[in-house]
Amino acid sequence: MTTTQLKDPPISKRLAKNIKRNFLERVIEIILMFAALAATFITLGIVYILVTEASGFFKEVSINEFLTSRQWSPLFEDAHYGILPLISGTLTTSFIALTIAIPIGTVAAIYLSEFASHKTRETVKPILELLVGVPTVVFGYFALLFVTPLLQKLNPDLPTFNMLGAGIVMGVMIIPYIASVAEDAMRAVPMNMREGSYAMGATKFQTAIRVVTPAATSGIIAAYILGISRAVGETMVVAIAAGQQPTFTFNPLEGAATITAYIVQVAMGDLPHGSLGYQSIFAAGMVLFVITFVFNILGHMARKRFAERY
């Protein structure tokens, strides 16, 4: 019994030399690696499609006209290709949404993280997470058939499709998102910082404003940036309620198309593949992608900086 044990090499060595075992391990690792690479391929695919289709567009339209002309009418006889009206629509709706969502979201986050009892927080936080998942087409319904008629009672001149109603609903839609992300950031501030502040005689409010909020700044900013990115990329609410007419205006009482609403409008019609109108949605999409990409990277960096500090 003992002699055989001495003759045989140790189990670990036998396993190390097992060719089948090692080969399988390699194969599995490579398969998994390709799955991870797929994520990179999606980004590359997006960039590739946007660039190739938009390059056809920019062969016909000068970049100068695209960026400076104040008219966007690619589907009309008298075609103009200035992206500015779509950008003004996007900025106006996003601005309205964020003026609602950022203050309310921040106050809600501070309250939930610093003031609310354990029970309140444990009830409200899941509700916020639930609300983040409500599909946006439903919010389009609210904007068109609930908020706009309400606003029209206050201001009878308001058109059925207007940026104000769409912006307000979009703001309400983003509140749970900002509140939830900002609250996570504030909860991540170590407890002993609060305890230090309380020990000096500070009240809850003083601690929240002068200790916790400054400590969580980058995390809160990340919440704002991700909120902005959501507002800019939001499609269904504006496509349903903000109007389809590209107008260069910052007046929320008017209707105007956003970048996303334009893409939806064109995609619903049946434009032939390769036509200038078809390519124009990729040019618009590229602008949208670049804007949200910048915000996403900024948000990611802010979040990472925050995560590294604690």
Partner 1 sequence: MMKKNSVSEESLIKPKTLEEVRAMIRSHKRNDFIFSSIGLLTITFALLTLLILFVDLVMDGYPKLNYQFFADFPSRRAANAGILSAWVGSSLVMLVTFITAVPMGVAAGVYLEEYAPKNWFTDIVEINVTNLAGVPSIIYGLLALGLFVYTFHLGQTIVTAGLTLGLLMLPIVIVSTREAIRSIPVAIREAAYAVGATKWQVVLHHVIQYSFGGILTGIIIGMARALGETAPIITVGALTFIAFLPPAPLTSVAPFISFEWLQSGFTVLPIQMFSWLSRPEHAFHINAAAAGAVIIMLTLVMNGTAIWLRYRIRKNIKW
Side chain identity, residue 177: Y
Q: Quote the CA–CA distance of 84 and 66 in Å, as a whole number.
A: 8
b/e map of 31-44 (b: 16 or more CB within 10 Å)? Answer: eeeeeeeeeeeeee
Contacts of 88 (CB under 8 A, 6+ apart): 247, 248, 249, 250, 256
* Alpha-carbon dihedral sign for residues 23, 25, 27, 30: negative
Q: Which is nearer to partner 1, 7 or 273 (CB)?
A: 273
Find the binder of partner 1 among 56, 235, 253, 276 (CB under 8 A).
235
Q: Which is nearer to partner 1, 73 or 296 (CB)?
A: 296
Residue 234 binds partner 1, judged by CB under 8 A: yes
Q: Which residue has the tokens 């490579």?
A: 30
Q: Which is nearer to partner 1, 55 or 251 (CB)?
A: 55
Least distance between partner 1 and beta carbon 261 (Å): 10
3 state DSSP class of 81: strand
Q: Quote the CA–CA distance of 83 and 181 in Å, as a whole number.
A: 32
Site stretch for partner 1 (CB under 8 A), options 32-40, 58-66, 81-89, 188-196: 32-40
Residue 23's CB is within 10 A of a number of other CB atoms, namely 10
Query: In the range 74-113, which residues lie near partner 1 by CB under 8 A?
Result: 104, 107-108, 110-112
Q: Which is nearer to partner 1, 46 or 276 (CB)?
A: 46
Count residues binding partner 1 (CB under 8 A): 88
Q: Quote the CA–CA distance of 158 and 165 in Å, as a whole number.
A: 10
Find the binder of partner 1 among 8, 13, 15, 99 (CB under 8 A).
15
- Write the interaction track for partner 1 spanning residues 276-295; mark x where CB under 8 A is met and - where it is not: -----xx--x--xx--xx-x
Q: Which tokens sit at 79?
A: 């075609």
Find the binder of partner 1 among 205, 210, 250, 251 (CB under 8 A).
205
Q: Is 285 left (phi over 0), alpha (psi -120 to 50) or beta?
A: alpha
Least distance between partner 1 and beta carbon 170 (Å): 13
Find the binder of partner 1 among 204, 251, 275, 309 (CB under 8 A).
204
Query: In the range 115-154, which residues lie near partner 1 by CB under 8 A?
Result: 115-116, 124, 126-127, 129-131, 133-138, 140-142, 144-146
Query: In the range 157-176, which residues lie near partner 1 by CB under 8 A?
Result: 172, 175-176
Least distance between partner 1 and beta carbon 267 (Å): 4
